[in-house]
Amino acid sequence: MKIALCQINPTVGAFNHNRDIILKYYQQSIDINADIVVFPELVITGYPPQDLLWEDGFIDRNLSVLNEIAAQSSLPIIIGFVRKENGRLFNSAAVCYDGKLQTTTDKILLPTYDVFDEDRYFTSGEEPKVIPVPVKGKQINLGIQICEDLWDHDYDCKVSQIQKEKGADILFNISASPYHEGRLFRRKDLIQEKVKETGLPFLYCNMVGAQDELIFDGESLAFSAKGDCLGQGKAFEEELVLVNLDSNQSVELNIQPREDKMYRALCLGVSDYFKKTGHTEAVLGLSGGIDSALVATIAADALGPNQVHGISLPSKYSSDHSLSDAQALARKLGIDFRIIPIQEAVEGLETILHPHFLGLEPNVAEENIQARARGNLLMALSNKFGWMVLSTGNKTELALGYCTLYGDMSGGLAVISDLSKIDVYALAKWVNTQNPGRIPEGSITKPPSAELAPDQVDPFDYNVVSPLVDAIV
């Protein structure tokens, strides 16, 4: 028996687009002689639909698209959608074949932690189901789960075990599981644990793509009843993974280097954010430091260098190497580079404020005038040309408050806000292993500084505070 796992990239609310890619992959699955075709969780609506779920028209369109897909079904297809019954919403999977919707099953375990708030919208299914479907003249009993139903350690309901007891022949899990460092290994361990407990093959189909701050990595998995890996989807790419359950050939799990995976995740996050919000060009301040250098590199790879504008915004405290490193980076990336000095704007604001600051010692107020002048100029360019401002703060400095509201925090997308400062350095060095000298060495080796005061350097040992922030946050 051949199973097609279609890890595709839907967009929240783009019903026609989502329907078209579902049908495209469904037809491709038929063409390669699949017996069952599987799509991710809530693939018709996109994930997470959040408060769009309160709109009746949204739910109705989701059901209409499901019926359009069902009408074109021949082979059994498992597909995620929103079911409505007696005013309640369910995160559900539909099983369609022979031109119609045959049956549905609902998600049992609703996550309400971290980035998830499904209990806000959905009602939990009453009990795990096993669904019989015809495959090559035989009845095959499918235990269909949805995402969190796999992660049942902290719940009383053990979905896989119940489906085994109800006579399941195969377990399926359709997911919209966001990327997190090490998540692949956790999924693999959980699936192999379920296989060991039940003695059943387990197929896991995960979404790919980015939606706002979430990035879905794909990496769908298939394991035989013996616990051998029979197939794995690519990371951060749409793919149809055809799995032959009758094959005795196992595959080695493809484990990519940590920094490689992080970088690809961030590139997908940027490219999908722009694509799904209708933006095409990005602008960011290039200080010559490591954070803006990494963000510019990600943006150039995600959007193409012709779509990225790097702006150097020097003040009287900016060092010569800051400007030269920014220029060298822009040249290496092939992006648009412009210099807009801010000293005149800063002095103008200081002159206006002088009567009100009279007799007071200069402090962070004067420093932040510079950061806000930079933010103001970048936002003006954004407004005039329709460029999306990328902010460049990392997780460590944001958590510590070492940033300026309305200054370097201005922007439409905070590209590296989930990277610690240590990870920023690790990724910058990894970039240079792939393309030597792409990020200027000076940006990596010089002491980090906001350059808002004479001889200023960041007042932290990042090797100490960065792991502390990670541990606390």
Q: Check residue 130 and give its pLDDT.
A: 98
Q: Which of 6, 96, 147, 229 is catalytic?
A: 147
Locus of tokens 């013996």: 226
458 is in which domain, residue-wise?
262-472
Is 446 annotated in the active site? Answer: no
Our count of domains for the chain comes to 2
Mean pLDDT of 205-226: 97
Give whole-number Cα distances, 411 to 97, 170, 304, 375, in Å. 47, 47, 19, 8
Mean pLDDT of 69-74: 97
Q: What digits encode the pLDDT tens for the residues 249-307?
A: 899 999 999 999 999 999 999 999 999 999 999 999 999 999 999 999 999 999 999 99
Mean pLDDT over the full length of the chain: 96
CA distance 313 to 374: 6
Element spanning 390, H or E: strand 388-391
Is 332 annotated in the active site? Answer: no
Instruction: CATH number of the domain at 41, please.
Output: 3.60.110.10
Beta bridge partners of 211: 214
- Choose among 198, 171, 186: nearest CA to 38: 171
Last residue in a domain, options 255, 276, 305: 255
Strands (E), 107-137: 130-135
Would you tell me the crossing angle of helices 258-277 and 421-434 to the nearest 10 degrees? 100
pLDDT tops 90 at residue 381: yes
Count of C-beta atoms within a 10 Å radius of residue 391: 24
Q: Which of 6, 96, 107, 164 is catalytic?
A: 107
Residue 214's identity, in one-letter code, is L
Report pTM.
0.94
Q: Check residue 319 and give its pLDDT.
A: 78
Q: Do 23 and 161 lie in a common domain?
A: yes
Q: What digits encode the pLDDT tens for the residues 317-354?
A: 877 788 999 999 999 999 999 999 999 999 999 999 99
Residue 79's identity, in one-letter code, is I
Mean pLDDT of 146-165: 95
Q: Do 374 and 435 lie in a common domain?
A: yes
Last residue in a domain, options 229, 255, 281: 255
Q: Check residue 272 and give its pLDDT.
A: 98
Identify the sign of the CA torsion 161, 163, 166, 169. negative
Instruction: CATH number of the domain at 342, please.
Output: 3.40.50.620
Q: Do 247 and 275 lie in a common domain?
A: no
- Choose among 240, 241, 249, 298: nearest CA to 274: 298
Strands (E), 8-115: 36-38, 77-85, 88-97, 100-106
Residue 306's identity, in one-letter code, is N
pLDDT tops 90 at residue 180: yes
Q: Check residue 449 and give its pLDDT.
A: 85
Is 226 annotated in the active site? Answer: no
Mean pLDDT of 359-387: 96
Give whole-number Cα distances, 134 to 223, 318, 401, in Å. 22, 70, 59
